[in-house]
Structure 1
Amino acid sequence: MKTYRKLLTKEIDALKQQGCQSSNWDIIEVHPLFNAKNVHRVTFMGNIKLGLLEGTFQLPGGVTQQSMIKDATLHNCEIGDGVYIDRVHNYIANYKIEDGTYIQNVNCIYVEGNSSFGNGTCVAVMNEQGGREVIIYDYLNAHFAYILTFYRHRPLLISKLQDMVKKYSAYVSSTMGYIGKGVKIINTGSIKNVKVGDYTTIEGTQLLENGSINSNVHAPVHIGYGVVANNFIISSGVRMKDGVMLNRCFVGQACELGHTYTATDSLFFSNCQGENGEAASIFAGPFTVTHHKSTLLISGMFSFMNAGSGSNQSNHMYKLGAIHQGIIERGGKTTSNSYILWPARIGAFSLIMGRHTNNSDTSNLPFSYLIENNDQSILVPGVNLRSVGTIRDAKKFPKRDKRTDPHPLDFLNFNLLSPYTIQKMLKGIDVLENLKMTCGESKTYGYQGCVINGRSLHRGIELYHMAIRKFLGNSLISRLTKCSCESDEIIRECLKPDSSIGLGDWRDLAGLIAPQSEIVKLLNDVENDRITNSKQIYDQFEYLHENYYAIEWTWAWEKIKSYYGVNLNSITAQDVILIVEEWKKAVTGLDKMIYEDAKKEFSLSSRISFGLDGNRYVQKVDFEKVRGLFEDNDFVKTVLKHIEDKTRLGDELIHRLKVE
């Protein structure tokens, strides 16, 4: 608790001589060691507390600046120690400014009335006309927002969740603003009703109004030139610059927005990137990336997604308002100039190419291509499982997680194969087999607004089976890693699930992959007041995330039983060997397809535009100097090593089982 004293008469005289003025010198309080020499041309109004203006700032270019306050008007302010304030063209009013903050050349910074600093703002996500509004607040995460957005069929639940947020918003409301420690605010326009967290940098920003910047020493926030933001929450580690314009938006941890990106009524969760384009009423789950000037994302949910240039969705085929919305499940990609007419739902890890106007639903056929041909939506099931791009994506997401905050808001599962995607493949096999049974052998099959070629249908079934065997084998081998496997009884004991949690369908709650049964239990607890605040909800999300692999095994074992026709009470080492052999074939088979797909990047056609002024030899050498040799490519080496490592892992387990 800091102590203050009143100004001495000689200090008041010194301040007056230095161009300072006050409506009432008696209500100004200062640090016990206050030195008036560092305050010049300042107008004091209302209640003022001044800290010790000692210490220096090291500025870019080697400039050193002494702590001081000059050329400013302060109204109802508490100024910490070691602060620098200079050239406030209007005033700073109703703010507590913490130690070590640097403010120079700003228009005005003030709080008017009682403010919740962006908390409690309603964001009309997914539907421009409303109906799925999410009330944003400082600790919103993707999974909490997912439930608020998509569980409208449970009005009591939504009401209780909204009440939690409203209570928090009321709790943080104040007539006093806050600027934290080590903040830099330079060459900036107006800041109104904004809470500024520790170590934020605001430089060249045009306008910030009604928001919170939740920066901290571990994950500072940078708000740059030309940014305009109204009614917002900005989480730790965010970088925004170059004319970004936001209105009614939540920006999650480590997001990057720049190059005149514009967003309204949108939620961006951790590690999203937005440049040049536009977003309207979107739920941008973690790692939603859009870099291109002509790209529009509108009224949709996305996650782990890359939007190509000119990508667009339309919700304008309506007569009673913009009600249409769409879902591109995790891992989706759109090529240049792709278009989707909402409503539509695209399965996980799918590639979208061309224009699609048939309201497709491919949610049970993940890892597919959706391609336009002669105004038809051609669906190629499962083909993305053999794509080198899909595997690269799976590996790059963890490496691109830029969050440095020790308290992550989103709990992210990066697994390509999980109960969520495998259950989709199992359903996909049923879909494709039923099409065969219903229509017989055919050149084409119609499905959910799409056309599937007969050859693609058969290939899709094969690819899904390979991926299922790979996942189930991975789970089985992981479970037996520390098992002695000395007898069938010991094997059965090792394979016994740790709990019954995990059976049934699984859900992807915008990054968190968890059993539907546990989500329903959580929501029931909220409705019945067994859970009464958002912290308890987050604790449950964290529990499900941290115990994912134990819970996953419960699900995987149940699927092994049905898929391979084995039983925990009677499974033998020989049964395990057969499953591992199937796993080896699946793993190496998929890896070889990926290897062949990677080869295309080094084909003759890929060399076009290389060796500009030479013959074929020059073209070849130029290509190799830029791209390298196929055999030396890091990804290719990784694939070959993966084949070798997995083959050895399977052989070692088989050897142990046979020996014992």
Structure 2
Amino acid sequence: MYENLTPNQIEELENNGCTSSDWKKVLVKQPLDCTRIRQVQFHGNIRLGLFESQFILKNGIKRDSGIYCATLSNCTIGDNCRIHNIQNYIANYTIENNVRIESLNTLEVEGETSFGNGVKVSVLDETGGRQVPIFDQLSAHLAYIIALYRHRDKAILELENIIQKYAEKQKSSVGVIGEWTIIENCKEIKNTKVGKYSTITNAHRLSNGTINSVKKAPVKIGSGVIASNFIVASGSEISDSAIVDRCFIGQGCKLSKHYSAENSLFFANCQGYHGEACSIFAGPYTVTHHKSTLLIAGLYSFMNAGSGSNQSNHMYKLGPIHAGIMQRGSKTASDSYILWPAKIGPFTLVMGRHYKNSDTSDLPFSYLIEKNDESYLAPAVNIKSVGTIRDAVKWPKRDKRTDPNKLDLVNCNLLSPFTINKMYNGRSILKQLQAVSGMTSESYHYMSTKITSKSLKRGIHLYSIGITKFLGNSVISRLHKMNYNKEMTIQEVLKPTSKYGKGQWVDLAGLITPKEVVTNFMDKIEQKEIKSLKQIKSYFEDAHNNYYEYEWTWAADLLEKELNKSLEEIQVSDVISLVGRWRDSVIELDKMLYNDAKKEFTLSSRTGFGPDGDDSVQIKDFEQVRGTFETNSVVNEIIQHIHRKSKLASDVIDQLKEHSTKV
């Protein structure tokens, strides 16, 4: 396909200001349009494609494909590329078809590189105790296991070896710029592999990295970006002078507005603006938008960081060795502070400054509040927050991933065996505190926090509501799935079909699954039954796809505990009673959410509206901006939810009564 230049072509190129150290090493596709190659210096082995098309820029401006004002060394240039105004040189790159590169200083591969694959990120522990090697296909779940399952040292070593083998295969002394990529007005790009349909504009420096862009989910790198030792997954964007060093940026992420991150992992749909991250594990939907916010040495997911949020990861003794865990759905209020190590339970709101090493992991949906330098915990109160429900609804809608090949398997369920098991444990803890300290105690102490008597009693009640709601949801779903009819006994319907599910569940940064499934995975890794990245991905996919089968196994076990009966002893009347309690719990919780939403429409909430008018102007201005309580979409959804669930409960109870003669 490639041929030597003819003497006439060499002469024409030289007349166009082109030179070569050896014209015999310049091979081309014929017919070559020499008019589209001007002021070019060729060094080493060169391959040139055809230049026949035009690029149409904004405002209808047209630019011919070709090579103009550039120095190329050991490069292959695909068909219909445009390379223009290269101030220094392009060296050791394969540039695929239809790529446009303009106004660039340097694009080079120097020596052999794996393009960021295999770089070890000191996540959580800045001293390197939990390093995660990054690579093109890294998922949140695999990273979680590598970082936090260090007690399974043989399995971790095997996983690191599998990743290292992949990184070795990526090594090359030649880089690739994928087809239909645009690179313009950039300074230095070194040892960086660029995927198809990427857009890199005004970047300052990219070094030792991979941009895994694809047509359906292109990657954008914008103005002033400095990135080194990195992997960027499909559909992500880094822009506005963000600085990234030793980081993995997952699918659908956006780091912008001077955000700074080092030794950190960001997974699906994370957003980082203005602030700073150091050694963090940002699971799916971790969001930080504020200039004064520092996230350091923490594990987060589905998390929103308030302005001025901060943590400390060392106590001036052995260095920055401490880390913290904020389990899924947690939030930090403005100017909050947490002293690591600490472990914050799921869907907890942290307000104030906390100087003690708290562990509230078994008391989810709480408020952790500072008062007079003491940490107060209000268990379960976040269950009745309309904001919590709003968050759970919005996450699936905010999935920015358009690549059909999803790296992270994300379960957005608010109520799951992971959270309900914690509610179950939390209710037991609160009852035990009450029993030990007495019903008349004004406050109770738990894991470096204080719980008031009122908060404790309310927590017990709210956890019971949450447990009943989940259990009712599961039973009703099971009845529908099994198509319960007169030909079946209730025991046949309730019997689990999966051996996995009982016991503890874990949240692998988005993937919710029984701990037994993870243990089995680690065993298979150690025994080398799983020995490839493809098999690892397949195992996680199976766990994700089987979630509801595993969930029912766990729910059936919980059902036995709540009813104090074995599955064989449970009667239709027991299920009817449960569905009735489920209906009551759903309605009670919805009424709490309704009242919580109403707070956004109180007199105090109208402060600041209609500043230059009287009360009528204030009300009118408020309604024009916020709407009315009666027309609010969230409020209406709560009302409709009450009606839907009430009807569902009635239908299920009627169905159970109709078929009860069989039982």
Same fold (TM over 0.5): yes
Partner of 2:348: 350
Matches within 5 A, 1:71-150: 71-150=69-148
Native 8 Å contact 2:266 2:284 kept in 1: yes
Deviation readout 1:249-269 (Å, 9 max, x if unpaired): 000001001000001100001
Q: Which of 302, 307, 310 pairs up with 1:309? A: 307
Distance in structure 2 (CA, Å) of the matches to 1:570 and 1:34: 84
Q: Which of 330, 333, 354 pairs up with 1:332? A: 330
1:416 aligns with 2:414: yes
Distance in structure 2 (CA, Å) of the matches to 1:534 and 1:312: 36
Which amino acid in 2 is paired with 1:627? Answer: R
**Secondary structure of 1:591's partner?**
helix
1:166 aligns with 2:164: yes
Partner of 2:580: 581
Distance in structure 2 (CA, Å) of the matches to 1:22 and 1:612: 73
Which amino acid in 2 is paired with 1:579? Answer: L
Q: How many angstroms does 1:488 deviate by?
A: 8.6
Q: Which of 237, 240, 244 pairs up with 2:238? A: 240
Partner of 1:525: 524
Deviation readout 1:393-427 (Å, 9 max, x if unpaired): 00010000100001000000000000000000111
**Secondary structure of 2:567's partner?**
coil
Change (3 A) 1:258 1:373: same
Change (3 A) 1:616 1:364: same
Distance in structure 2 (CA, Å) of the matches to 1:549 and 1:90: 58
Partner of 2:500: 501
Native 8 Å contact 1:136 1:250 kept in 2: yes
Partner of 1:382: 380
**Secondary structure of 1:113's partner?**
coil
**Secondary structure of 1:581's partner?**
helix
Native 8 Å contact 1:287 1:397 kept in 2: yes
Is 103-112 or 610-619 further displaced after alignment?
610-619
Distance in structure 1 (CA, Å) of the matches to 2:364 and 2:447: 14
TM-score, normalised relative to structure 1: 0.99
Is 335-344 or 497-506 further displaced after alignment?
497-506
Partner of 1:491: 490
Q: How many angstroms does 1:452 deviate by?
A: 0.1
Native 8 Å contact 2:152 2:522 kept in 1: no
Distance in structure 1 (CA, Å) of the matches to 2:504 and 2:443: 30
Partner of 1:468: 467
Distance in structure 2 (CA, Å) of the matches to 1:482 and 1:532: 36
Q: How many angstroms does 1:489 deviate by?
A: 4.4
TM-score, normalised relative to structure 2: 0.98
Partner of 2:321: 323
Change (3 A) 1:476 1:109: same
**Secondary structure of 1:321's partner?**
coil
Q: How many angstroms does 1:381 deviate by?
A: 0.1
Q: How many angstroms does 1:453 deviate by?
A: 0.1
**Secondary structure of 2:173's partner?**
coil
Distance in structure 1 (CA, Å) of the matches to 2:86 and 2:186: 10
Q: How many angstroms does 1:316 deviate by?
A: 3.0
Partner of 1:12: 10
Deviation readout 1:463-509 (Å, 9 max, x if unpaired): 00100000010000011115554449433222221121111110000
Q: How many angstroms does 1:34 deviate by?
A: 2.1
Which amino acid in 1 is paired with 2:110? Answer: E
Distance in structure 2 (CA, Å) of the matches to 1:133 and 1:124: 4
Which amino acid in 1 is paired with 2:340? Answer: W
Distance in structure 2 (CA, Å) of the matches to 1:178 and 1:644: 58
Which amino acid in 2 is paired with 1:122? Answer: K
Is 19-28 or 33-42 further displaced after alignment?
33-42
Deviation readout 1:232-274 (Å, 9 max, x if unpaired): 0010001111100011000000100100000110000110000
Distance in structure 2 (CA, Å) of the matches to 1:589 and 1:56: 65
Native 8 Å contact 1:243 1:260 kept in 2: yes
Q: How many angstroms does 1:102 deviate by?
A: 0.3
Q: How many angstroms does 1:62 deviate by?
A: 1.4
Native 8 Å contact 1:483 1:491 kept in 2: no
**Secondary structure of 1:14's partner?**
helix
Distance in structure 1 (CA, Å) of the matches to 2:287 and 2:502: 33
Is 564-573 or 383-392 further displaced after alignment?
564-573
Q: How many angstroms does 1:547 deviate by?
A: 1.3
Partner of 2:599: 600
**Secondary structure of 1:631's partner?**
coil
Deviation readout 1:326-359 (Å, 9 max, x if unpaired): 0000000000000001110000000000000011
Q: How many angstroms does 1:534 deviate by?
A: 2.0
Which amino acid in 1 is paired with 2:490? Answer: I
Distance in structure 2 (CA, Å) of the matches to 1:248 and 1:451: 40
- Alignment size in residue pairs: 658
Distance in structure 1 (CA, Å) of the matches to 2:388 and 2:107: 48
**Secondary structure of 1:593's partner?**
helix
Partner of 2:619: 620
Native 8 Å contact 1:346 1:363 kept in 2: yes
Q: How many angstroms does 1:320 deviate by?
A: 1.4
**Secondary structure of 2:39's partner?**
strand
Which amino acid in 2 is paired with 1:398? Answer: P
1:647 aligns with 2:654: no
Distance in structure 2 (CA, Å) of the matches to 1:578 and 1:55: 73
**Secondary structure of 2:92's partner?**
strand
Partner of 1:447: 446
Distance in structure 1 (CA, Å) of the matches to 2:13 and 2:493: 79
Partner of 1:369: 367
**Secondary structure of 2:88's partner?**
coil
Distance in structure 1 (CA, Å) of the matches to 2:290 and 2:115: 31
Which amino acid in 2 is paired with 1:18? Answer: N
Partner of 1:187: 185
Q: Superposition RMSD on alpha carbons, in Å?
A: 1.0
Q: How many angstroms does 1:570 deviate by?
A: 3.0
**Secondary structure of 1:331's partner?**
coil
Which amino acid in 2 is paired with 1:51? Answer: G
**Secondary structure of 2:208's partner?**
strand
Partner of 1:515: 514
**Secondary structure of 1:43's partner?**
strand
Which amino acid in 1 is paired with 2:627? Answer: G
Distance in structure 1 (CA, Å) of the matches to 2:482 and 2:36: 72
Native 8 Å contact 1:488 1:571 kept in 2: no
Partner of 1:539: 538
Unaligned 5+ residue runs, structure 2? none
**Secondary structure of 1:574's partner?**
helix
**Secondary structure of 2:405's partner?**
coil
Distance in structure 2 (CA, Å) of the matches to 1:141 and 1:238: 15
Partner of 1:66: 64
Partner of 1:44: 42
1:216 aligns with 2:214: yes
Distance in structure 1 (CA, Å) of the matches to 2:529 and 2:219: 36
Q: How many angstroms does 1:153 deviate by?
A: 1.0
**Secondary structure of 1:90's partner?**
strand
Is 306-315 or 570-579 further displaced after alignment?
570-579
Distance in structure 1 (CA, Å) of the matches to 2:565 and 2:22: 86
Distance in structure 1 (CA, Å) of the matches to 2:586 and 2:247: 43
**Secondary structure of 2:272's partner?**
strand
Q: How many angstroms does 1:532 deviate by?
A: 0.8
Partner of 2:31: 33
**Secondary structure of 1:393's partner?**
helix
Q: How many angstroms does 1:32 deviate by?
A: 2.5
Change (3 A) 1:513 1:633: same
Which amino acid in 2 is paired with 1:573? Answer: V
Identity between Structure 1 and Structure 2 (%)? 52
Distance in structure 2 (CA, Å) of the matches to 1:503 and 1:487: 29
Q: How many angstroms does 1:567 deviate by?
A: 2.8
Which amino acid in 2 is paired with 1:646? Answer: K
Distance in structure 2 (CA, Å) of the matches to 1:491 and 1:35: 79
Distance in structure 2 (CA, Å) of the matches to 1:17 and 1:484: 81
1:300 aligns with 2:298: yes
**Secondary structure of 1:232's partner?**
strand
1:570 aligns with 2:573: no
